[in-house]
Structure 1
Amino acid sequence: MNEDSPHVLIVRLGAIGDGVFASPLIGAVKRTWPDAKVSWLAEPALASMLSVNPDIEEVVVWPRQRWQSLLRSFRLLALFREVLDFRRELKRRRFDQVFDVQGLLKSAILARLTGAPQRTGLDSGEPTGWLMTRVLPKSRNVARIGSEYLGFAEAVGLDVGDFEMQVATRPGDRAQADRERLRGRYAVLCPFTTRPQKHWFVEQWRDVAIGLADRGLRVLLLGGPGDVEMVDAYIEGTAVESRAGLTTLTETSALIERAEILIGVDTGLTHMGIANATPTVALFGSTCPYTDTTRENAVVLYRKLECSPCRRNPTCEGRFDCMREITPAAVLAQVDRLLAP
C-alpha cells in the first residue's frame, strides 16, 4: 500500500439520502491523503449522482437488479460467472483500503470481493466481521446529521475538517436551474418517500403551497419517476408546478440549490437541501431525526410522542399522529423565520 496516495473505495450502495450523508468522506480522504484516489461502489441510482463529482476517481456500479433477476430465474451458472467477473474487475483496480459505511452483509461481501488488504466496516448487527479486517461501532451522537459517517471518519483517523455534505452538479444542470429562476423566485416541495409513516398529509401540503404562493413564491414539486402517478393529488387546487420525473438527480439537486426554500419529509431530496445550504424545513415523525442540521438555515420539525420513533413498526393504526401534529401554520412560521431579511 502506498501510504501517501492510497486507492480508497467507499461502499455505500443505495439510498440517495445516505449517499448524501456519507459524501463528506470524500473530502476527508482527500484532506488526509491529497494524492489519494477515491472510488465509490454504488447501485445505479446513487451512481448517477456520484459520477459527476470531480473528487471521485471512478464510480463502480453494482448491478444488483441484474443479479437478482438471474437468481429469480434460477440462472445460477450465469450469476456465478457474473459474480466472478465482477470480482475480477474489482481486484484489477487494486484498492488499498475499503470503507464499508453501509455495514450490511451484502456490502461486506462486496468489500471482500475487492481483495483489498484493509477493509473497515460499520457494525450494523449483521455478521460481517469474518469479511472485514476491522469493524467499528456506530456513533451514538444521533442528533447530528450524518453522525455515523463522522464517527467512522474519526475512528479511522481521517481529517474530518468541516465534514460538510456535498452534491456535485454539471454546468448544464445549473444553467437549467438558472432558467427556472429567471421565471421567478421559487420554493420546492419534497413530499415523496418510501414508507407511508414518513409522509405528511396531502391536504397539509396544499395549505403550505397556497401559503408559499401568498408569499410571492412559485412552488415546484420534486420527485422521481415512481412518484408521478401521485402528483395530481398534491397539486389539485393549487398553482404548484410539478417537476416529478422530469429531471435527473443532478438536475434536481441544481433546482434545490437555486430555490428560496425547501420543505420536505425524511427523504434524500430534503437532505440535498441541507447539503446545498438551501434554507430547509424538514418534517420528521416515524424516524429518529437529526436535530442538529449543522446549518443555521435548516430546521427539523419533530413532535416526539410516546411511540416515537416507531421506524418501520407504527402502532397508531395508520393515523400517523406524529406527522399530523406538524401543522401547515408551524411550517409556514419557519418559512417566514428562515426567509426573514
Structure 2
Amino acid sequence: MSAPRPASPAPRRILIVRLSALGDIVMASGLIPALKTLYPQAELSWVCEAGCVPLLRHNPQLQQVIVWPRSEWEALLKAKRYMALWRAIRAFRARLRAEQFDLVLDCQGLLKSGLIAWLTGAPRRVSIIAREGSHRLVHEVVTPPPGVDPVMGSEYRFLAHYLGAPQGSFVHDLAVGTEPRQRARETLQQALQSAWGDAAAARPVVVLAPFTTRPQKHWVESNWSDLAQALLTRGLQPVVLGGPADQEAAARICAGQPQCLNLAGKLKLDESVALIADAQLLVGVDTGLTHMGSALRIPTVALFGSTRPYLEGPTPLTRILYDALPCSPCRRRPTCNGAFTCMKQLTTERVLHAALGQLEPTR
C-alpha cells in the first residue's frame, strides 16, 4: 500500500469510479457516507456504466452520476471507426476535466477504470489493488491485506479508512426512489391479486434471488421450487426476482405454484431495490440483489460456494451459508467438472431453517 500523501486542503469535488458490477456498486456505496463524514463540504460524483445508474441516481448525497458510454465506444471500435472513437474519448475527457475533480477514487482497479481516473486529470488519484497496469494511471495504490476483514465491502471500507474516514462511517447507502417504490408496490399488489384473487391478504414477502452470471454460483433449481412451497405453507409470500434473461428459469421455479409470484423481468432495477426494501426476508446466491438485501438491512440468507465475497454481512441480519471445501472458493475456475458440490450440499431444509431463523426476530 502506498503511503498517504502529506496533508493537503480538503477536496472540493470527489469522483468515485466503479463502473460495474451491480453487487460491487452496492458494496462500494458505503464510501458515500464515509466521504461525506470525512469531507462534509465536498461534492460527490460517481461514474458507472448505464445499466448501473438506477442504483445511484436516487441518492441525494451524490451531486451527479456520470455515464461511461461503454457500448458506444465498443461499437465504434468494432466498426473500426477509430477517429470517431478518438473523438468520443476526447469529448468524455473534456467533460470530466471540466468538473475539476481534485480527488478521484478508482474502486475497480482495472485498466478501463484507471483510464477514466487518468482522463480526469485530477491531482490526486487513488486506486484499490491496481491491476492490468492501471497503477501507472494513478498516484496511490491501496492494497488491503487479505483475510483481515471478513465483513461485506471490506476493500472499500479499507480505502475509506486509508483516506481518514472515521470508524463506523462506512455504511452501505442504497437510496430508494419515491416513484420506483410506488411502481414496485403496485406491481406486487397486482401480482398478489392475480395469484390469490379474493383470498389475497397481507403476507410477509420473501424475495428469492436465484440468478447470477456463472453456473457454479447457482443453487439447484428444483431446490428453489421446494423452498418456495415450504415458505407458502408457512404463511409467507415468495417472490422471484431477476432480469429479463431470467424469465424462463423463473417460470420453471414457479411452475405449478401460482402463488409463488414470478416478477423476473417485470421490474426495473430501481423498482427491484424498492421491493427488496419493503420485503421481510431475502434468500439469494452471490448476486447483486442479494447484496442489496444486506445493504438495505433486510434479513438475508446468502448462499455462497464457488465464490465467497464476504463471510459476514454488515449486520447480524445477514446470514452466510458457506462450506469451506478444499476446492472452494474456486471463483472462475471450477475443478469439480460441473458437480458444484459446494452448492448442492446446501439442502433445502438447511436453507429453510436459516431463513426462518433470520425472519423470526422480525415476526
2:305 and 2:328 in contact (8 A); partners too: yes
Task: Choose the corresponding residue for 1:54, options 60, 76, 96.
Answer: 60
- TM-score using structure 2 length: 0.90
Task: Choose the corresponding residue for 2:178, options 160, 171, 182.
Answer: 171
- In the TM superposition, residue 336 of structure 1 has moved relative to its aligned partner by 1.9
The AA in structure 2 aligned to 1:71 is: L
Alignment partner, residue 250 of structure 1: 270
- CA distance in 2: counterparts of 1:245 and 1:35, whole angstroms: 40
Alignment partner, residue 116 of structure 2: 110
Task: Choose the corresponding residue for 1:222, options 215, 227, 241.
Answer: 241
- CA distance in 2: counterparts of 1:237 and 1:183, whole angstroms: 22
Task: Choose the corresponding residue for 1:13, options 15, 19, 22.
Answer: 19
1:48 and 1:249 in contact (8 A); partners too: yes
Indicate the SS of the match to 1:231.
helix
Alignment partner, residue 137 of structure 1: 143
- CA distance in 2: counterparts of 1:322 and 1:143, whole angstroms: 19
Root-mean-square deviation over aligned CA pairs: 1.7
- In the TM superposition, residue 92 of structure 1 has moved relative to its aligned partner by 0.5
Asked if residue 22 in structure 1 is aligned to residue 25 in structure 2, the reply is no
Task: Choose the corresponding residue for 1:302, options 322, 335, 338.
Answer: 322
Task: Choose the corresponding residue for 2:156, options 149, 152, 168.
Answer: 149
The AA in structure 1 aligned to 2:172 is: M
Alignment partner, residue 331 of structure 1: 351
2:20 and 2:49 in contact (8 A); partners too: yes
* Deviation by residue 1:192-232 (Cα, 9 ceiling, x = unmatched): 00000000011110111011101101111101122223222
Task: Choose the corresponding residue for 2:285, options 230, 245, 265.
Answer: 265
The AA in structure 2 aligned to 1:144 is: V
- In the TM superposition, residue 249 of structure 1 has moved relative to its aligned partner by 1.2
Indicate the SS of the match to 1:8.
strand
- In the TM superposition, residue 49 of structure 1 has moved relative to its aligned partner by 1.4
How many pairs were matched up?
341
The AA in structure 1 aligned to 2:327 is: C
1:225–1:313 CA distance, 2 compared to 1 (3 A): same
- CA distance in 1: counterparts of 2:241 and 2:57, whole angstroms: 21
- CA distance in 2: counterparts of 1:147 and 1:162, whole angstroms: 13
- CA distance in 2: counterparts of 1:217 and 1:186, whole angstroms: 6
Alignment partner, residue 311 of structure 1: 331
The AA in structure 1 aligned to 2:151 is: R
Alignment partner, residue 125 of structure 1: 131
Of the structure 1 ranges 23-32 and 177-186, higher mean CA displacement relative to structure 2 is found in: 177-186
Task: Choose the corresponding residue for 2:220, options 188, 191, 201.
Answer: 201
1:289 and 1:300 in contact (8 A); partners too: no
1:191 and 1:264 in contact (8 A); partners too: yes
- CA distance in 2: counterparts of 1:272 and 1:320, whole angstroms: 25
Equivalences for residues 94-105 of structure 1 within 5 A: 94-105=100-111
- CA distance in 2: counterparts of 1:26 and 1:166, whole angstroms: 7
Of the structure 1 ranges 28-37 and 165-174, higher mean CA displacement relative to structure 2 is found in: 165-174
- In the TM superposition, residue 176 of structure 1 has moved relative to its aligned partner by 3.8
The AA in structure 1 aligned to 2:166 is: D
* Deviation by residue 1:40-89 (Cα, 9 ceiling, x = unmatched): 01001111211111000011100111101110110111101000000000
The AA in structure 2 aligned to 1:145 is: M
* Deviation by residue 1:97-127 (Cα, 9 ceiling, x = unmatched): 1000101111001100001110000124321
